Amino acid sequence: MATGGKGEERRQVHTGPGSIPDHPVGSRFVRDLNRALERQDKELVRHLLQHRVQHVDAVIELSNDDWMKDPSAQLDPLILLGLWSLEYKQELTSPLCIAASHGYTDCLQYLLQRGARPNMVVGTKSALHSACENAHADCAEVLLEYGANPRLLTEEGLTSLHLCDTAQSFRCAKLLLKYRADVNQLSEEDQETPLHMVAKHGLHNHIHLYLRYGATVNILNIHQESPLASACASAWRPEEQEDYLQVCKVLITYGANVNSVDHEKRSPLHKASKNASLQLVQLLLRHNADVNAIDYNGCSPLANVIQTAPFKGELNPHCTVQTLLNYGSRKVWPAAFPKVLKTCAGSPKTIEVLFNSYQQIHVTEEWVEAVPEELFQLHRPFYESLFALASSPRSLQHLCRFAARKLFDKQCHTLIPRLPIPKCLRGYLLLEPESLVY
């Protein structure tokens, strides 16, 4: 069915909280509908929506937890005193939204043919929002053919394209763009584009699609954060690292600025380092990210990964520390090393990599006190080797390593792998941990 056919309605109609529903939550119709939806009884839902609603644009109250209307409600004294209040949630919807959100395409078509308005916003969203949020592409296509507006905002200020935030929603996104959705339209609250949204969710196919349709790769949200920075900040789950790596590769290929900073002067490298996302850190550094960038809190990317190392054990944070140092990151101020010990006591490999980046650093009694007894016992061989250096200098082998690294400076990551020496010695020069120090 072509756009502009029977039933086309581009006018935006809002029915928000406080409206009197045609079918209130206590009605028999709503009770029957809720039971049918819970059982996923498609035939009964279709029958109710097609034959028992008052009209095709009826407002249906699916739920209402308004405590003021419940005479048996036990109210907190603070509420009665007026010190704080409760909000209630009234869930309003329409036959069109119900059909779209559950993927009932034939029922949707039936309602539209009988004059249901595709741009009616009931509660918080329209039927097109509901279809895209639930990745029902067939429903989205029917709604768009009947004139649904792809640029219409939800009550939260999001477009249908913003709601395409799962891998399954890719076809919905393609349809929206085909029907002239604005790929650079901003959300109302955070001023984010759809590119920000899919970058946050690690959706590289969506990223490709939006950039082909003219998405602005370096656009900033209200926090001055770019899509690349959004992706780096969101890459904290170990199982999703590869998805975010692909997203960032595409964004960089299209010209994303690896050194853009947000309102707190945090770069994508700061955010990737905080997440101990090794592959992202390596990608950004290969594209000339500033390894020594400082944010408003005075933190470098190295400081960020040190701070979160205790919570990122499964991501091997010492590898991120090692990479940053091999790209020329400035070391931690020696006097602050006891703080590092206290923070990273449960990650001895992180401490080892950092410790081995110095020529000589004085081990004191304060260091011993900084490591909790239970962690000392858990990693006893390493800590005994570390604290033994309080009364002895570093080995000649280590001093040679430091001299070589000082010579190579910021090119350690490039030059050391090229040296015609055994692999184990290259690893030693690159600060590969050995679980002991000497």
Q: Which domains does the chain have, with CATH numbers?
A: 1-66+89-182 (1.25.40.20), 193-213+242-250 (no CATH), 309-438 (no CATH)
**pLDDT greater than 80 at residue 58:** yes
Amino acid type, 158: L
pLDDT score, position 91? 85
Q: What is the pLDDT of residue 70?
A: 47
**Percent of the chain scoring above 70 in pLDDT:** 90
27 pLDDT exceeds 70? yes
Q: What is the pLDDT of residue 16?
A: 57
Q: Are 185 and 194 in contact (CB under 8 A)?
A: yes
In angstroms, the CA 169 to CA 166 distance is 5
- In single-letter form, the type of residue at position 46 comes to R
| pLDDT (0 to 100) of residue 219 | 98
pTM of the model: 0.88
Alpha-carbon distance of 83 to 86, in angstroms, equals 11
- For residue 424, list its beta bridge partners: none
* Higher pLDDT among residues 72 and 171, named by residue: 171
Contact 380, 406 (CB under 8 A): no
pLDDT attached to residue 9: 39
Q: In this model, does residue 66 exceed pLDDT 70?
A: no
Cα 330 to Cα 170: distance, rounded to the nearest angstrom = 43
Say which residue, 8 or 39, is predicted with more confidence.
Answer: 39
Choose the weakest-confidence range: 39-48, 169-178, 213-222: 39-48
pLDDT-above-90 percentage for the chain:
86
Q: How high is the pLDDT of residue 391?
A: 84
Distance CA(220)–CA(349), nearest Å, equals: 37
**Residue 346 pLDDT greater than 60, yes or no:** yes
Residue 392 has pLDDT above 80, yes or no: yes
Q: Please tell me the predicted confidence (pLDDT) of residue 253.
A: 97
Mean pLDDT, rounded, of the chain = 91
Token code pair at residue 195: 């590119």
Q: Is pLDDT of 82 > 80? A: no
- The DSSP annotation for 369-416 comes to HHS-HHHHHHTHHHHHHHHGGGGSPPPHHHHHHHHHHHHHGGGHHHHG
Query: How many whole angstroms separate alpha carbon 48 and alpha carbon 95?
Result: 9
Q: How far is CA 173 from CA 9, 45, 177, 181, 207, in A?
A: 21, 27, 6, 9, 11
Q: Is the pLDDT of residue 74 over 60?
A: no
Question: Quick check: 87 pLDDT over 70?
Answer: no
Question: How much is the average pLDDT of 23-31?
Answer: 91
Q: What is the dihedral of CA 194, 196, 202, 204, to 10 degrees?
A: 60
**Could you tell me which of 237, 231, 304 has the C-alpha nearest to residue 265?**
304
For the cut 80, the answer to whether the pLDDT of residue 196 exceeds it is yes
151-161 pLDDT per residue, tens: 999 999 999 99
Pairwise CA distance, residues 130 & 363, whole Å: 61
Residues 6+ apart with CB under 8 A from 116: 7, 56, 57, 94, 95, 96
User: Average of pLDDT values for 263-292?
Assistant: 98
- DSSP state at residue 61: E
Q: Would the pLDDT of 257 be above 60?
A: yes
Q: How confident is the model at residue 68 (pLDDT cuts 50, 70, 90)?
A: very low
pLDDT confidence tier of residue 83, bands split at 50, 70 and 90? very low
User: 337 near 303, Cβ under 8 Å?
Assistant: no
Query: How much is the average pLDDT of 263-269?
Result: 98
pLDDT band at 3 (very low <50, low <70, confident <90, very high): very low
Task: Give the model's pLDDT for residue 435.
Answer: 95
How many Cβ atoms are within 10 Å of 42's Cβ, its own excluded?
15
Rounded Cα–Cα distance for residues 262 and 274 (Å): 15
* Dmax (CA) of the chain: 89
Distance of alpha carbon 324 from alpha carbon 306, whole angstroms: 11
Q: Which band of pLDDT confidence, cut at 50, 70 and 90, is reported for residue 33?
A: very high
pLDDT tops 80 at residue 438: yes
Mean pLDDT (whole number) for 379-393: 94
* pLDDT at site 88: 52
Answer left, alpha or beta for residue 157, where phi above 0 means left and psi between -120 and 50 means alpha. left
Which residue in 368, 433, 428, 436 sits closest to 399, CA to CA? Answer: 428
Alpha-carbon radius of gyration of the chain: 29
d(CA 52, CA 396): 87
